[in-house]
Amino acid sequence: MRVLHVDDDSGDRELLRLAFENAAPALELEQAEDGAAALERLERPPRPDLVLLDVNMPGIGGFEVLEWIRGRRELTGLPVFVLSSSGEPRDVERAYEAGASSYFEKGTGFSPLLEVARGLQSYLRVTKVTSR
């Protein structure tokens, strides 16, 4: 089960990689450093099982990536979970309006990321196992 993580912050990418290594070893993590790299990756197979998306990125931002994904027929049903440093209600509402499946705040420290990684592993296990 493959997760595509999109985040322009190299420190946050590294923390999430460590969180997945520790708490979600069954998941294969791919990382893209910005919106453009995410679109390029999503253009080619294999399709990830889930996208974990930061929204505040320079260039092609997370909301634009999200809207692009929701406009692509071949990506129909792809879960996109936002993982952002912003917990502002305005950003949360905008993400859901753009088609986010769920929204998480990065929080501070490593343990919130461990919880998200562990939860995503369970989420993909229970949804993918049944649908395959």
Partner 1 sequence: MNIDHARAHNHIVLFSPGDRTLGDAVAGYLADGLAQDETALVIATPEHRRLFERELGDRGVDVRAAAAERRLLMLDAEESTALFMTDHGPVWPRFEQAIDGALARLAPSGRGVRAYGEMVDLLWMRGRKAHAIELEQLWTRLLETRRACLFCAYTLDLLDSSASPAGLDEILAAHSHVVSSAGPELDAAVDDAVREAVGDEEFAALRALIQVSLRPGPAMSWGERALLWARANLAPHSDRIVERVRRRLQEQAVA
Contact between 92 and partner 1 by CB under 8 A: the answer reads: yes
Contact between 120 and partner 1 by CB under 8 A: the answer reads: yes
Contact between 102 and partner 1 by CB under 8 A: the answer reads: yes
Residue closer to partner 1 (CB basis): 26 or 36: 26
Out of 31, 103, 109, 110, the only residue in the binding site for partner 1 (CB under 8 A) is 103
Contacting positions for partner 1 (CB under 8 A): 79, 87, 89, 92-93, 96, 101-105, 107, 112, 115-116, 118-123, 125-127, 130-131
